[in-house]
Amino acid sequence: MRLPKWGLLIFNILLCVAFAYVSISSFSNGATIWWLWGLISILYGYTTITHFAKGYKEGWSSTEIVEDERTWNVRLVSCFIAFVYIMLFLSVGIVTFYMGYLSIDPVVYMVLAVITSIAVFVISQIVQFIPK
């Protein structure tokens, strides 16, 4: 898929602003995870500046390849692996909670499942992009 550089710039600006808003809102409401949203906002700010510099050098009407068949298939396989992992993780959690072997808060367990599933997704992507 090819997208114009100005479209990618607008998309990155919107995501940067959205995550900054969530970070500020979380901080003002007393949430303890506001720094994570701030970090994501800073990362999107960095990508926004990078896309702005690239678009300024190469022209705004040129296009950039965002997705092709190979990367799409790699992401699908990684999503499948992460989905199977999170389903197994949560199934084991349900059984252990039911039997009384696990004594942590269920919300903390679900957050742990999501974070480790994202880590499995990232590791799967890295392993698939290693040249053979």
Distance of CA 103 to CAs 34, 114, 117, Å?
Answer: 27, 19, 21
The answer to which of 9-13, 57-61, 89-93, 117-121 has the lowest mean pLDDT is 57-61
CA 112 to chain centre: 15
pLDDT given for residue 31 in this prediction = 79
DSSP codes joined into one string, the chain: -EEEHHHHHHHHHHHHHHHHHHHHHHHHTT-TTHHHHHHHHHHHHHHHHHHHHHHHHH-SSSEEE---HHHHHHHHHHHHHHHHHHHHHHHHHHHHHHHT---S-HHHHHHHHHHHHHHHHHHHHHHHTS--
pLDDT given for residue 80 in this prediction = 93
Taking only the tens place, the pLDDT of each residue in 27-37 is: 888 877 788 88
pTM (two decimals): 0.54
Taking only the tens place, the pLDDT of each residue in 40-75 is: 888 888 888 887 787 778 776 666 666 667 777 888
The residue among 44, 42, 55 whose CA lies nearest residue 11 is 44
Residues recorded for the chain: 132
